[in-house]
Chains A and B, each alone.
Chain A
Amino acid sequence: MSPLLEAHEITKRYGSVQANDAVTLSLNGGEVHALLGENGAGKSTLSKVLYGFIRPDSGRVLVDGKVADLRSPHEARVMGIGMVFQNFMLIPALSVTENIGLFLTNLPYVVRRDAVEGRIRLHAERLGLRVDLRAPVRQLSVGDQQKVEILKLLLADARVLILDEPTKVLAPHEVEELFEVFEALKAEGYAILFITHKLREVIACADRITVMRQGRVTGELPGVLADAETLVNMMFGDKHPSARAEVERPAPHGPAGKPVLELHAAGTRATGSETALRDIDLKIMEQEIVGVAGVSGSGQKELGDLILGLRPLATGRRFFLDADASGWSVRRTRESGVAFIPEDCLAMAAVPGLSVRENLVLGSGRRYHRGVAIDWSALEHRMADSFRALGFPVPRLDSPIGGLSGGNLQRAVIAREMAHGPRLVVALYATRGLDVRSAASVRDLLKKTRDAGAGVLLISEDLEELAEMSDRLLVMFGGALVGEFRRNAWRAEEVGHLMTGSRRSVHVG
């Protein structure tokens, strides 16, 4: 029986980058095939080719053994290929039924809700994809939203399901649930292409594994024969990055000195899709990195905004370096030494349309204001020093900020934030989406900042990163702190359950 989907010698080049180089892969029905590789290995390019988003320079895609010229995702869907993206293609305000209905190919003109729900339930029951169909999608957890995406594909008669980094946003036990769904799908003959960079998951659930590195296939093997060592070799060749999971965790770093930030019984109000914070008691000392784990929507963003002064306290108090900062504006908070490094610098920390120089002064409070005008030369001096101290190249200050690449933009933001010796650095998903090297350098910077005496609040979804970095780890769920651990005193499973609210709160050490 021919494979459901095959990629044959797929090649694609973007300028000087060889995204895919003669990649060959085949997917059979009833199996989970993992596509493993680091960021930039070429996995997403391949998946885009298989889904009809882009055309390869050369090579062919075969469906059921016959050559298929996929010119659009629509054609791919017609051939039974479905894809679940990292960013869900769901409409938050509409119900689950409506979202799925929109993607049905044979929806009648007059939509009978019961009929559609019946069709959905048929699949949902069999495959363990139970979801509240009437609820608007925005009320669903991320795990449930992913189930809706899968249901969408199934009802559109997909036989091949491509999932791009599906476990990135899931808590550990939700990952277990997903793997159970995989088993059910396999039993019904569906083919699953599971794209990821997480070794342990691949070893846990894949029937076959293809490993990619720098655009090429570097290995292919059945799941039973796979172990971490072999896979790591295939993924990285001879150069292992500082394999974060393998390196011995450093000895616990004792915080010294005074608290930089304190929250006493802090609470905030929330509107719409925000999460209200409840009764937060938090202390960040000098020379320590406090990590915060939690599934998205647990209140981490709100916590960061509260500390920054962006969100007002509804209850409780906030202290910064022993001063009552409960009523401080963002401006005053920042001028007192709070820095903020977000994930999406262009959206959250920079103003497009203004020059680099203007962006640098905007984040510096009133430091460079002289009467009516701005002391540009003092600013430029200070900023140049900051760039140099961090080892970054100094950008052209008069150029529009939109002209900087993503990496250079983040470097500029970091240089600005560090320029005035912050006492507290709030990093909100700062390494999300970065390649390995950039992420590592951001982590090094945070460690150096900690060593120099500042406090760091590291909000992250990457448990491995949190394990490496956190002197103390906090866990958030539903707007409250449900766990606190010293370094090395916790395990991923435990934290995962706290993150999803399936255990009561734990405070260790």
Chain B
Amino acid sequence: MTTSLFVGVFAGAILSGTSLLYATLGETIVERGGIVNLGLEGVLLVGASVGFAVTVATKSAWLGVAAAAIGGGLTNLLFGWLVIVRKANQLASGLAIMFFGVGASALIGGPYVGAVIAGLPKWRPSFLAALSWVKPTTLFNYDILVWCVVPIAVLVWWILFQTRWGLALRAAGESPTAVFASGRNPAVFQLQGLLVGGVLGGLGGAHLSLSLTLTWAEGMTAGRGFIAIALVIFSKWHPIRAIAGALIFGGAEALQLQLQARGAEISPFLLDMIPYVLTLLVLLAWGGAGRLAAPASLGRTFYGSE
């Protein structure tokens, strides 16, 4: 009984954690550039609703994924326009994007509530075919977004730390003045980072509606965006550590689902609290140390040279 619980949690953790990881990776890139997007929740919702709507309309989950990515990217660019071009306050703008995401996603997804889709196809690599007898059948039987997420995390790491663009972006997040002095415009890199981050966020949302739940409901992300923001801090703005974080939090969600499925006597509401409380506890434990690892110019508005 406990082994199947463990396997169930593990399989579920990967499933649940995928959308979290995409969102976290996207926000990591954005924050490495010095920008905080509190509206990540809105970006995820846009991705989920757009992905679902396009999938139902075109009967193609692939088109849905692509549309979700574009939707997420555009939403982040809207945010970027506010905070970088118009130099608006990042926190208030983030909340504005959150409202926007909640409202726009409801409008976009509204007509499609209750629609049934096949979702993204899943497969299992042949060398693991022997696992098909293991319950749950989801173990290592995943869709492409899941298979790609860890390679993408590595790719994000590589881009941030091994390329010229990543160096400039990180420098923009530490000291826009220095970037400016080196002959570059930090705003360009921040906007590019926002675009990439938005695409990843859109993919995270898509995974929720196109694979995990195969439905659309208003507000279905239920705070995953904020958990992702906490995960960025938890992983100290490092894409590889984010994998571990997403697994842990995905595991918390999976645990609650498994316990409910087994008819545990615990109220579903108490179980629902686990991810948020866990996030708080983790942030608490990380304490002051986490703040020191943050990009030095995170959240500040850069008003141009001298």
Q: How far does the Cβ of B183 sit from chain A's closest Cβ, in whole Å?
A: 5
Complex interface residues of chain B between 169 and 226 (CB less than 8 A to chain A): 170-171, 174-175, 177-179, 181-183
Question: Which segment of A101-109, A304-312, A350-358, A415-423 sits at the interface?
Answer: A101-109
Alpha-carbon gap, A74 to B174, bound state (A): 21
Establish whether residues A103 and B182, one from each chain, have CB atoms under 8 Å apart when the complex forms.
yes
Mask of B149-170 contacts with A, CB within 8 angstroms, 1/0: 0000000000000111101101
Contacts of B292 in A (CB 8 A): 271-272
Given contacts A89-B177, A91-B171, A91-B174, contact A109 B296 (CB under 8 A): no
Establish whether residues A73 and B296, one from each chain, have CB atoms under 8 Å apart when the complex forms.
no
Establish whether residues A74 and B163, one from each chain, have CB atoms under 8 Å apart when the complex forms.
no
Given contacts A93-B296, A272-B292, contact A73 B181 (CB under 8 A): yes
Complex interface residues of chain A between 81 and 102 (CB less than 8 A to chain B): 89-94, 98, 101-102
Establish whether residues A111 and B164, one from each chain, have CB atoms under 8 Å apart when the complex forms.
yes
Given contacts A102-B182, A103-B182, contact A92 B296 (CB under 8 A): yes
Alpha-carbon gap, A110 to B306, bound state (A): 30
Contacts of B170 in A (CB 8 A): 94, 98
Establish whether residues A89 and B171, one from each chain, have CB atoms under 8 Å apart when the complex forms.
no
Q: How far does the Cβ of A17 sit from chain B's closest Cβ, in whole Å?
A: 18
B251 within 8 A of A: no
Greatest chain B CB density within 10 A among A53, A77, A94 is at A94
B288 within 8 A of A: yes
Question: Which range holds the interface residue count of chain A?
Answer: 20 to 34
Establish whether residues A110 and B163, one from each chain, have CB atoms under 8 Å apart when the complex forms.
yes
Establish whether residues B177 and A111, one from each chain, have CB atoms under 8 Å apart when the complex forms.
no
Contacts of A94 in B (CB 8 A): 167, 170-171, 174
Residue in chain B with minimal CB distance to A272: B292
Alpha-carbon gap, A221 to B183, bound state (A): 37
Residue in chain A with minimal CB distance to B177: A89
Contacts of A53 in B (CB 8 A): 306
Establish whether residues A109 and B165, one from each chain, have CB atoms under 8 Å apart when the complex forms.
yes
Alpha-carbon gap, A395 to B211, bound state (A): 68
Establish whether residues B167 and A110, one from each chain, have CB atoms under 8 Å apart when the complex forms.
no
Q: How far does the Cβ of A276 sit from chain B's closest Cβ, in whole Å?
A: 15
Alpha-carbon gap, A77 to B182, bound state (A): 10
Establish whether residues B175 and A91, one from each chain, have CB atoms under 8 Å apart when the complex forms.
yes
Contacts of B165 in A (CB 8 A): 109
Residue in chain A with minimal CB distance to B296: A93
Contacts of A77 in B (CB 8 A): 183
Establish whether residues B167 and A98, one from each chain, have CB atoms under 8 Å apart when the complex forms.
yes
B295 within 8 A of A: yes
Alpha-carbon gap, A94 to B172, bound state (A): 11
Alpha-carbon gap, A92 to B288, bound state (A): 18
Alpha-carbon gap, A103 to B164, bound state (A): 11
Alpha-carbon gap, A111 to B164, bound state (A): 6
Greatest chain A CB density within 10 A among B167, B168, B182, B288 is at B182
Residue in chain B with minimal CB distance to A78: B183
Residue in chain B with minimal CB distance to A138: B296
Alpha-carbon gap, A441 to B106, bound state (A): 67
Residue in chain A with minimal CB distance to B170: A94
Alpha-carbon gap, A101 to B178, bound state (A): 12
Mask of B289-302 contacts with A, CB within 8 angstroms, 1/0: 00010011000000
Contacts of B183 in A (CB 8 A): 74, 77, 105
Given contacts A271-B288, A272-B292, contact A111 B182 (CB under 8 A): no
Establish whether residues B295 and A93, one from each chain, have CB atoms under 8 Å apart when the complex forms.
yes
Mask of A187-218 contacts with B, CB within 8 angstroms, 1/0: 00000000000000000000000000000000
Question: Which of A93, A102, A110 interacts with B179 by CB under 8 Å?
Answer: A102
Contacts of A74 in B (CB 8 A): 183
Contacts of B163 in A (CB 8 A): 109-111
Q: How far does the Cβ of A270 sit from chain B's closest Cβ, in whole Å?
A: 12
Residue in chain B with minimal CB distance to A90: B178
Establish whether residues A102 and B296, one from each chain, have CB atoms under 8 Å apart when the complex forms.
no
Establish whether residues B181 and A89, one from each chain, have CB atoms under 8 Å apart when the complex forms.
yes
Q: How far does the Cβ of A10 sit from chain B's closest Cβ, in whole Å?
A: 19
Q: How far does the Cβ of B192 sit from chain A's closest Cβ, in whole Å?
A: 14
Contacts of B164 in A (CB 8 A): 107-111
Residue in chain A with minimal CB distance to B291: A272
Residue in chain B with minimal CB distance to A53: B306
Alpha-carbon gap, A79 to B162, bound state (A): 29
Q: How far does the Cβ of A369 sit from chain B's closest Cβ, in whole Å?
A: 33
Residue in chain A with minimal CB distance to B306: A53
Greatest chain B CB density within 10 A among A53, A77, A102 is at A102
Q: How far does the Cβ of A161 sit from chain B's closest Cβ, in whole Å?
A: 16
Alpha-carbon gap, A77 to B180, bound state (A): 13
Alpha-carbon gap, A57 to B219, bound state (A): 61
Establish whether residues B167 and A101, one from each chain, have CB atoms under 8 Å apart when the complex forms.
yes
Alpha-carbon gap, A109 to B179, bound state (A): 16
Contacts of A111 in B (CB 8 A): 162-164, 167
Q: How far does the Cβ of B177 sit from chain A's closest Cβ, in whole Å?
A: 7
Residue in chain B with minimal CB distance to A74: B183
Contacts of B179 in A (CB 8 A): 102
Establish whether residues A102 and B174, one from each chain, have CB atoms under 8 Å apart when the complex forms.
no
Q: How far does the Cβ of A19 sit from chain B's closest Cβ, in whole Å?
A: 16
Contacts of B174 in A (CB 8 A): 91-94
Greatest chain A CB density within 10 A among B163, B167, B296 is at B167
Alpha-carbon gap, A268 to B222, bound state (A): 44
Chain A to chain B contacts (Cβ below 8 Å), 23 pairs: A74-B183, A89-B181, A91-B171, A91-B296, A92-B174, A92-B296, A93-B174, A93-B296, A94-B174, A98-B170, A101-B167, A102-B171, A102-B179, A103-B181, A107-B164, A109-B163, A109-B165, A110-B162, A110-B164, A111-B164, A111-B167, A271-B292, A272-B292
Q: A92-B174, A271-B288 are in contact. List 20 more A-B contacts (CB 8 A).
A: A53-B306, A73-B181, A89-B175, A89-B178, A89-B181, A91-B171, A91-B174, A91-B175, A91-B296, A93-B174, A93-B295, A98-B167, A98-B171, A103-B181, A105-B183, A107-B167, A108-B164, A109-B165, A111-B167, A271-B292
The 9 residue pairs across chains A and B that have the minimum distance between CB atoms: A91-B174, A74-B183, A103-B182, A91-B175, A89-B181, A272-B292, A102-B182, A107-B164, A109-B164
Name B residues whose Cβ lies closer than 8 Å to a Cβ of A. 162-165, 167-168, 170-171, 174-175, 177-179, 181-183, 288, 292, 295-296, 306
Name A residues whose Cβ lies closer than 8 Å to a Cβ of B. 53, 73-74, 77, 89-94, 98, 101-103, 105, 107-111, 271-272
